[in-house]
Structure 1
Amino acid sequence: MIINDRLFIGGAWSAPSGSALLDIASPHDRSVIGRAAQALPADVDRAVAAARAAFDEGPWPRTSPAERIALIRRLNALREARAAEIAALVSAENGSAIWFTRAGQPGLTRQANAYLKAAEEFGWEETLEPSDPAATFRSVVRREAIGVIAAVIPWNSPFSAALAKIVPALLAGNTVVLKVSPENSLSMNLLARLLEETGLPRGVISVLPADRETSEYLVSHPDVDKIAFTGSTRAGRRIASLAGEQLKRVSLELGGKSAAVILADADLAQVTRGLKYASLLNNGEACIAHTRILAPRSRYEDVVTSLKELLESLPVGDPSDEQTFIGPMVRPDQQQRVREYIGIGVQEGARLVTGGPQVPTGLENGNYITPTLFADVDNSMRIAREEIFGPVLVVIPYDDEDDAVRIANASEYGLSGGVWSADQDHALDVARRMRTGTVTVNGAPIGFDGPFGGFGASGVGREYGAVGLTQYIEYKTITV
């Protein structure tokens, strides 16, 4: 049993304003695995005040980029040294299968290294010579920190989401209040201990587990200069409205309903192996999951059969078991939500190929879902339009490639997607036509040097690499 009865505010551990501790339940069997303090508005006030003082009066924004880079490298090394502990703790809290949380640890290093490379190559201050030969002045362009950042992240991949925001924010010289989900109180308190050990100046960062109401209090706080949010599109719309009222900077990484376009010449065995990960990573609780499978009518039943065999072969069970591929949903309400969507699919007339709303036998005490596949799906159905956030896939037929692109783009979302073909150049041409922020060809991984983010209702702004770093700076021009 892990007990965290303190909050990490401004770089130090202190008593919370409330006395109650939240029980953290295992998604596997709903037993209590820990208890943790939760932040209230009074704690937010303390964290924001510490961040404000550290930015306005402290040394952090005035340190050199090289000094900030060195501290982030130290944080990266500290995290790498405890990678196994981090993976196990996130699996225990979230229900994420241990294969997934372990596999994600090297990705955290690559993500941070891409930001570090960008910071090393960044033109933090540049002198621009005038384009007009007759001009008698020159311009000095500076890239400076924005100020106090409210970083708000979801529960499904907490370390990745947290570091995608705090690393570029800190590299740019900002101070940060990181609001994390109650479900991740234990793992995010571990992150707080790593930040403490990194040696950041007092006040630079706080880590606050808190509920939605406290989160709204944070993003509305008058001393917050920018909101960086990852989460649902519904919550993102609310945050955007609050930011608009106060003219705060805002970046939003939101939901998705991504399409995987299988072209007629694709190797179906390769496609199936790739979709095992692209569509079902993290139990399907991933905004980038390719859950709309677009198949040519000429090969439609072959695709359906292959995916049916895949889903029925996946071990479902204890997330700490190395043989498990699909673990439980994070909470009972999320489990119920996914089951309701499966019922909606049946009501809409889709063909239930495998799975269904029943809980897998022997796993009734946990938040489990039977991996489910629907065929004969029309893109207008709710199960094809709305983000389910669970191991539920739909297969949609298309007539030709123009039809496939049309269907792929007929979504309010545009976060991720994929194209499968024996002809890589052909697949690349189709990928160029898709209105989405990231497209993978033949199962290629998402890199961290290029920008990541969404079109449409999938968000505003980008993360990762040099473009992600620019989300945390202001431009200043000085004319001399």
Structure 2
Amino acid sequence: MKAINPLVVIVAALGAELGCVFIVFLIGVDMSTTFSVVSPVDGQVLAEYGYASGEDIRQALEASQQVALTWQNTPLAQRKVLVGQAIDWLVSQRDRIAEAIAQQIGRPIAQAAGEVRGLEERARHMIAIADEALADNYPAPKEGFTRFLRREPLGTVLVLAPWNYPFLTAINTIVPALVAGNRVILKHSSQVPLVAKIFDEAFKAAGLPNGVFQVLHMTHDDTLALIGSEGIDFVAFTGSVEGGRTVQRAAAERFIGLGLELGGKDPAYVRADADLNNAVENLVDGAFFNSGQSCCGVERIYVHASLYDDFVAQFVELTKGYRFGNPMDANTNLGPMVRARAADFVRQQIADAVAAGAKTLIPAGHFTHDAPGTAYLAPQVLVDVDHRMRLMTEESFGPVIGIMPVSGDEEALRLMNDSDFGLTASIWTTDADAAMALADQIETGTVFMNRCDYLDPALAWTGVKDTGRGVSLSALGYAQLTRVKSIHFRTA
């Protein structure tokens, strides 16, 4: 168990730009000064990194404050250019990024470079819409007055990013935050420090002023202390529900914004009129891509009884065709989970479901690399499942899916909404009107028709229930990362 020393109060007198305001924050001193990255590929230690000290954190906050006015007063056009140059640099590192992802989280190297395409799509879109999203907003003219609303940056944005899509999830906040004139401190998951390093190199190569973008590897305690300090003005967290609650508690005494993207148990409904082949192909991919470790991955499927048997048969056949194994092999298209204990969690969900009457359809031994006690967990399909089973209600975040027959829209809607989560849901049908009628009633942040497991940067990425709160991407993503100032001048 880690030994934690008593909290140490660090008082930093920041520069003249703040009028010599004193910022006080608490840093929990953790006796652990380093952390190791264990690769799921072979269970070996990939690298060891040092945690930031209290002095490192103090200096990062001071650097962020010192550059505040410089960066905020940099014209928007120039901020866009500089951030765009960082994206250019990242795109040029496609092969390096693919290797870093494969080594650190186990996604097949043949697929890992695809994250760069998504990163670029999101970043370019957010840069392109910045002028409109950040433009002054004028109400109807009123004689004798000049009136408008202006968006201003919040200050220092702390991005707490996860490991599963380490570039995509981080870029959702980093790009609009910087373009809007904020400074960013990135605390990435300790599973992917190489990603944080690559981000740091990108913004340095782009020529951003010192202190505008910084990376800190911090202990859990120091991260929470930083959230509660006066140096942070917004926190963007992607992670577990309990992690979100912890972040919220840490910020409870402060009036700052939080973006919390938490758990999911995303459902799919295959209607009687669906294109069966299209639904099967996309839902297999939606369930198992990245070994099921996707925030918006499909975790439960409801199929109209008239299609159920054919759907299940085709789904199982396609699943059996995966090339499961070492992610560094270019022929592999399904790799290990991120760590052994995550795989063991899913194994236990499966075992509990089977004990309660569920049936597994992928025979033991079909995938030779499946190895109990390791991160290598082969995909599994279960039937005869119901909502009494953890498998159908508790987030799995792994390569497993439960499939249930339903009698029609009413039953499907009830089951889709029977969840503590609400990130995305997908409807598979040729009837757009029926899909819209269902979409109006599904309790979720995004409703897809005939696609799944995708994020469109032009649309708001948000959720309901225990999936969290806040918005990223789209013009609304800029609204979350800025504050509004009203200008009200009498001119006559």
Aligned to 1:63: 74
Partners of 1:82 and 1:350 in 2: CA distance: 45
Partners of 2:365 and 2:484 in 1: CA distance: 52
**Deviation sequence 1:7-35 (CA, Å, 0-9, x none):** xxxxxxxxxx9995433222011123323
Runs (5+) with no aligned partner, structure 1: 1-16
Residues 191-340 of structure 1: pairs in structure 2 closer than 5 A: 191-340=199-348
Aligned to 2:485: 476
2:64 is the alignment partner of 1:51: yes
Aligned to 2:133: 122
Aligned to 2:175: 167
Equivalent position amino acid for 2:306 in 1: S
Paired residues of 2:196 and 2:215 also in contact (CA < 8 A):
yes
Partners of 1:400 and 1:359 in 2: CA distance: 35
2:452 is the alignment partner of 1:441: no
Aligned to 1:10: none
User: Equivalent residue of 1:210, what SS?
Assistant: coil
- Stretch of structure 1 that moved more, 237-246 or 254-263: 237-246
Distance 1:243 1:358, change over 3 A: farther
Distance 1:357 1:462, change over 3 A: farther
Aligned to 2:166: 158
**Deviation sequence 1:351-394 (CA, Å, 0-9, x none):** 22226799954756851112111112112421111111100101
2:366 is the alignment partner of 1:353: no
Runs (5+) with no aligned partner, structure 2: 1-29
Aligned to 1:7: none
Q: C-alpha displacement at 1:284, in angstroms?
A: 0.4
Equivalent position amino acid for 2:74 in 1: T
Aligned to 1:412: 420
Paired residues of 1:360 and 1:369 also in contact (CA < 8 A):
no
Query: Where has structure 1 moved over 6 Å in runs of 4 or more?
Result: 356-359
Aligned to 1:374: 382
Q: C-alpha displacement at 1:298, in angstroms?
A: 2.5
Equivalent position amino acid for 1:79 in 2: L
**Deviation sequence 1:98-127 (CA, Å, 0-9, x none):** 233222221111100111122022343344
Aligned to 2:87: 76
Residues 23-38 of structure 1: pairs in structure 2 closer than 5 A: 23-38=36-51
Paired residues of 2:134 and 2:180 also in contact (CA < 8 A):
no
User: Equivalent residue of 1:418, what SS?
Assistant: strand
Aligned to 2:19: none
Distance 1:450 1:136, change over 3 A: same
Partners of 2:246 and 2:173 in 1: CA distance: 20
Equivalent position amino acid for 1:379 in 2: H
**Deviation sequence 1:278-320 (CA, Å, 0-9, x none):** 2212110111011110111222222222222222221111112
**TM-score, normalised by the number of residues in structure 1:** 0.90
**Deviation sequence 1:65-118 (CA, Å, 0-9, x none):** 111111111111111111121111111111012233222221111100111122
**Deviation sequence 1:116-147 (CA, Å, 0-9, x none):** 122022343344345xx6x6433231100001
**Deviation sequence 1:185-211 (CA, Å, 0-9, x none):** 112211111111111111112112334
Partners of 1:357 and 1:46 in 2: CA distance: 54
Partners of 1:322 and 1:418 in 2: CA distance: 31
Partners of 2:223 and 2:47 in 1: CA distance: 22
User: Equivalent residue of 2:42, what SS?
Assistant: coil
Paired residues of 2:359 and 2:383 also in contact (CA < 8 A):
yes
Partners of 2:488 and 2:477 in 1: CA distance: 27
Distance 1:94 1:419, change over 3 A: same
Distance 1:64 1:243, change over 3 A: same
User: Equivalent residue of 1:439, what SS?
Assistant: strand
2:142 is the alignment partner of 1:112: no
User: Equivalent residue of 1:311, what SS?
Assistant: helix
Distance 1:355 1:456, change over 3 A: farther
Paired residues of 1:340 and 1:357 also in contact (CA < 8 A):
no
Aligned to 2:439: 431
Partners of 1:116 and 1:216 in 2: CA distance: 31
Paired residues of 1:128 and 1:138 also in contact (CA < 8 A):
no
Paired residues of 1:356 and 1:371 also in contact (CA < 8 A):
no
Q: C-alpha displacement at 1:59, in angstroms?
A: 0.3
Paired residues of 2:133 and 2:478 also in contact (CA < 8 A):
no
**TM-score, normalised by the number of residues in structure 2:** 0.88
Aligned to 1:8: none
- Stretch of structure 1 that moved more, 352-361 or 218-227: 352-361
% identical aligned pairs = 31
User: Equivalent residue of 1:182, what SS?
Assistant: coil
Of 426, 429, 446, 1:421 maps to: 429
Residues 381-400 of structure 1: pairs in structure 2 closer than 5 A: 381-400=389-408
Distance 1:20 1:297, change over 3 A: same
Aligned to 1:5: none
**Deviation sequence 1:184-241 (CA, Å, 0-9, x none):** 0112211111111111111112112334333222322222111111111111122123
Equivalent position amino acid for 2:351 in 1: G
Distance 1:428 1:360, change over 3 A: farther
Equivalent position amino acid for 2:102 in 1: S
Partners of 2:388 and 2:371 in 1: CA distance: 33
User: Equivalent residue of 2:113, what SS?
Assistant: helix
2:99 is the alignment partner of 1:88: yes
Equivalent position amino acid for 2:477 in 1: G
User: Equivalent residue of 1:22, what SS?
Assistant: strand
Equivalent position amino acid for 1:84 in 2: D
Partners of 2:365 and 2:258 in 1: CA distance: 38
Q: C-alpha displacement at 1:49, in angstroms?
A: 2.5
Partners of 1:382 and 1:343 in 2: CA distance: 10
Aligned to 1:9: none
Distance 1:417 1:103, change over 3 A: same
Equivalent position amino acid for 2:311 in 1: V
Equivalent position amino acid for 1:312 in 2: K
Partners of 2:370 and 2:140 in 1: CA distance: 71
Paired residues of 1:352 and 1:374 also in contact (CA < 8 A):
yes
User: Equivalent residue of 2:169, what SS?
Assistant: helix
Q: C-alpha displacement at 1:165, in angstroms?
A: 1.1
CA RMSD of aligned residues (A): 2.3
Equivalent position amino acid for 2:183 in 1: T
Paired residues of 2:188 and 2:217 also in contact (CA < 8 A):
yes
